[in-house]
Amino acid sequence: MTRLVTGLLVAALWAPAAHGQAQAQGPSASTAGDADAVPMIVIEGLGEQDDAAPAEPAVPSVLLRNSTVKSRSTAPWLFPLRPLSGKSGANDMARLQGQASEGAFRLVLPPAALSGRLTLAHRSSVNVLPQGSEIEVLLNGRKLGSFRPDSFGTLATVSLPLAGSQARAGENIVTLRASQRHRIFCGPDASFALWTDLDLSQSGVQMEPLAVRPDAAGFVAALAAQAGGGQAVGIRGQKVDPETLRAIAGALGQATGGAPLPLTVASPWAVAERPAQARISLLPSNRSAVSVQQGGDGALVLVIEHPPGQAADPALITEALSGVPDPLTLAQPVMLQPGQETAFADLGFTTVVSSEYYFRRDLGFRLPEDWLLLASQKATVELDYGFAENLPEGGLVLVKVNGTTVRMLPLDRNGGKIQPRLPVSFSARLLRPGLNALSFESIIPGDPADEPCPTRDTDMLTILDSSSLLVPPSPKMQQPDMARTLSGLGGGDVQGLGQVGDGVLPFVAALTPVETQGAGALTVVGFADASLLPLTQRGIAARDLETVLLPPVAPAALAQPKPEPVEEPVNTGPARLMPANPVEPRSASWTLPGWVDRAWAAVRAPLERGIDRLLHPGDGLLQPWLAEQQGVAVLMSLEPDEPERLWLLLGPDADAADVAADLDAGRRSAGGPHGQISVLRRDGSWASWTAADARPVLLEPLAIGNIRPVLGNLVSWQPRALTAAMLGLAWITALLALYFVVSTRGNRKK
């Protein structure tokens, strides 16, 4: 028995060696089946030497498509849906919430996928009534199909054919419109309980890897698919210079429409944890050329040849990817002309007809970058709207400007018709140069709230596109604001500092100028290099930023151990009668009546805010504001003398591609970063702070016609200056009056 075991061990140890000898002997030593299963890689220069040198260096055969080589990546490729804006990752879930909601997604396809099928993995709340709900799917504005949200536990899939649709090679826009009905309750709270989640990591178009041709369209689609799946895209090469990396990132960002690409620099011999769909390889050569090849693992490879010691030519990269259709351009908010009444229709707003118990619609528009009003001027919305008759009591519609409610309109009286045109005035200082948002939000209670919503024959609310907006003109003035710099930033304006390394590449790829502005610069800094930032000019300590960016501690870690129970001493003295609840001693001071207390409480808050604004213009002191923030990145304008120079500090757990996506989405939104300091919260929103030293600057000559709004802006910027000027004027007037009285009194005595 012992000899048998020993023999088996010897045979097991000898087998790999024998297999290696068989491989060393060449193909003749193996069977035909082994030759098909094991790819043979020919390394040029190690075989028989040819006297005639080739005119041009050949691309290594390992990068070329070979029909006899079987791809090691046999799993189908998924070309996933990606959010139209903001971060994208492998585990992101997109939610359609409410009675009626809409979500838009990007879908980048190679030509071979146009005859495939679009798969959507979805799951809905148990509150959704499938028989009264539907989700409509549109592709590039045309209906592709629809399905019923009837999966409440595990994910369900629906498959829609692309053949004969509006699908195109390159970028497509997939829109999902959800109409959902609550099975039990009715009202705004019930609307928030209605949702359908879409798993983006399992939604898209699947294809076999070998069906994707190694061309520009196939490479861009594979690149977008890998980035959308949350997998880094490797740039492989030896001693890659920074200029080449920036050229590659900029060209890829242009080809993908500014999509956030998780680009990383990797060794040529690095082995990926997961099979790659796309990568970039840099090869030293005596020529400059760019081509798309298919690697031995099935990945599409952008091969960039360049002479040693020279940067790759970005024009060749752009030319190699020029066969890809241009990405679809999204409509930008319309520029509103101040001083001119503009109809909503001219701003891109279409008439709203709503039957929802909770509804919100935003109207985005832009104001010139040299528009600025900080005083008491008024802007006006001339609102044409109507609502149904006999709506539940308490229904109302809110009119908001950049998130601030400026008017509440009741919907429970005098309904059943289009109302007379209603002027809604609001303070013009709520508006900002650049992007702004005018919002309409309706809240209608259920009647009754504990039963399903009744079927209505008429709509509940309509807002007509004949409504108009009038913004007063202003002198040409500007206030330092990072939003203006961000809108003009491009990939060439981004640089890294310290150990951020290739973390700067997603920003180079994602940032394309939204508007042509003056020169600006963005410096990306890693968390470990926070001390390299010029923080002293803002009076910030590095530990203040570290507190903002450190991940929150789990509640379990903060739990304090329960103290040991302490046994109360037993009173052995004579018994005394004690009240169950100790009586607080009455204060000897006189107390105001209750109604006076309530009145004072109502006045105190705005009074304190006014005094604080008087003493601390802008958004107050920076340190208390920072102490209330928590996020993954901080965007800063640290040098008052150079407001166009921005600094971005990444947190220790920040993903550079996600931050780049949120930064690009934020500068296209009215709620994006502005002022001098802005924190990217963990939910993708921005919190901004404006410094007191952000002084308005006049860009035109001072004249009689503009002196009043100019002074109004300056005084509103620094209320303390107004207070000091008024006190000074009062003292001067008093002194002059006193001098006049004293001097005339002496003359009278004579």
Classify strands 300-306 and 278-284 as parallel, antiparallel or unpaired: parallel
Tell me if 227 is assigned to some domain.
yes
> What is the structure's pLDDT at 133?
94
> What is the structure's pLDDT at 726?
76
Asked whether the beta carbons of 324 and 64 are under 8 A apart, the reply is no
**Mean predicted confidence (pLDDT) in 549-567:** 59
What pLDDT digit, counting tens, does each position of 495-527 carry?
998 888 888 889 988 888 777 666 789 999 999
**Mean predicted confidence (pLDDT) in 722-749:** 78
Tell me if 18 is assigned to some domain.
no
d(CA 27, CA 39): 11
Tell me if 99 is assigned to some domain.
yes
Strand order in the sheet with 396-401: 334-335, 358-367, 434-443, 396-401, 404-410
Q: Which of 13-22, 145-154, 230-239 has the highest mean pLDDT?
A: 145-154
Q: Are residues 497 and 439 in the same domain?
A: no
> What is the structure's pLDDT at 288?
87
d(CA 660, CA 652): 15
Last residue in a domain, options 276, 296, 320: 320
Return the closest-CA partner of residue 261 out of 700, 719, 661.
661
pLDDT(563) > 70:
no
**Mean predicted confidence (pLDDT) in 174-185:** 94
d(CA 82, CA 90): 10
d(CA 296, CA 307): 25
Tell me if 373 is assigned to some domain.
yes
Q: Which residues, including other chains, have CB under 8 Å from residue 104's CB and lie 6 or more apart? A: 84, 173, 174, 175, 176
What pLDDT digit, counting tens, does each position of 689-702 carry?
998 888 899 999 99
3-state helix, strand, coil in the chain (%, to 5): 30, 25, 45
Tell me if 675 is assigned to some domain.
yes
Written as one letter, the residue type at 227 is A
715 confidence band (pLDDT: 50, 70, 90): confident
Dihedral angle at the C-alpha atoms of 313, 319, 322, 323, nearest 10 degrees?
-130
Q: Are residues 495 and 638 in the same domain?
A: yes
pLDDT(184) > 60:
yes
pLDDT(40) > 60:
no
Tell me if 10 is assigned to some domain.
no
Tell me if 533 is assigned to some domain.
yes
pLDDT(528) > 80:
yes
Q: Are residues 351 and 289 in the same domain?
A: no
Number of domains in the chain: 5
DSSP 68: T
Tell me the two tokens of residue 444: 């209608």
Tallying the residues shown for the chain, one arrives at: 750
Q: Are residues 410 and 443 in the same domain?
A: yes
Least confident of 54-58, 101-105, 347-351, 477-481: 54-58
d(CA 96, CA 105): 12
More confident residue, 65 or 611: 611
pLDDT(474) > 80:
yes
> What is the structure's pLDDT at 338?
96
Last residue in a domain, options 474, 500, 533: 474
pLDDT(242) > 70:
yes
> What is the structure's pLDDT at 601?
61
251 confidence band (pLDDT: 50, 70, 90): confident
Q: Are residues 344 and 415 in the same domain?
A: yes
Tell me the two tokens of residue 489: 């930033």
More confident residue, 575 or 594: 594
629 confidence band (pLDDT: 50, 70, 90): very high
561 confidence band (pLDDT: 50, 70, 90): low
Angle (deg, nearest 10), helices 594-615 and 719-749? 90
Asked whether the beta carbons of 73 and 209 are under 8 A apart, the reply is yes
> What is the structure's pLDDT at 19?
39
Q: What is the maximum span of the chain, computed from C-alpha positions, in angstroms?
A: 144
Least confident of 308-312, 471-475, 600-604: 600-604
Hunting for tokens 């304006």 — which residue is that?
493
Q: Are residues 347 and 468 in the same domain?
A: yes
Tell me if 33 is assigned to some domain.
no
Last residue in a domain, options 689, 707, 736: 689
DSSP 534: -
Q: Are residues 229 and 193 in the same domain?
A: no
pLDDT(70) > 60:
no
Cβ neighbour number for residue 373 with a 10 Å cutoff: 26
668 confidence band (pLDDT: 50, 70, 90): confident
Q: Are residues 365 and 448 in the same domain?
A: yes
**Mean predicted confidence (pLDDT) in 98-123:** 93
Q: Which residues, including other chains, have CB under 8 Å from residue 188's CB and lie 6 or more apart? A: 357, 358, 443, 444, 445
What pLDDT digit, counting tens, does each position of 373-396 carry?
999 899 999 999 999 998 999 999
CATH number of the domain residue 116 falls in: 2.60.120.260
d(CA 345, CA 526): 45
Phi-psi region of 694 (alpha: psi -120 to 50; beta: other; left: phi over 0): beta
pLDDT(105) > 60:
yes
Q: Are residues 306 and 283 in the same domain?
A: yes
589 confidence band (pLDDT: 50, 70, 90): very low
Q: What percent of the chain has pLDDT over 90?
A: 41
Distances (CA, A) of 229 to 199, 463, 504, 638, 642: 11, 40, 20, 36, 39
Q: Are residues 173 and 228 in the same domain?
A: no
d(CA 613, CA 560): 39
> What is the structure's pLDDT at 632?
94
**Mean predicted confidence (pLDDT) in 550-555:** 72
Mean pLDDT of the residues in the chain: 80
> What is the structure's pLDDT at 227?
87
The parent domain of residue 739 ranges over: 718-749
CATH number of the domain residue 294 falls in: 3.30.379.20
Least confident of 134-138, 255-259, 577-581: 577-581
Q: Are residues 420 and 282 in the same domain?
A: no
> What is the structure's pLDDT at 574?
37
| pTM attached to this predicted model | 0.77
Strand partners for 743: none
pLDDT(13) > 90:
no
> What is the structure's pLDDT at 329?
67
> What is the structure's pLDDT at 20?
40
> What is the structure's pLDDT at 363?
95
Least confident of 272-281, 380-389, 419-428: 272-281
> What is the structure's pLDDT at 510?
86
Q: Are residues 400 and 458 in the same domain?
A: yes
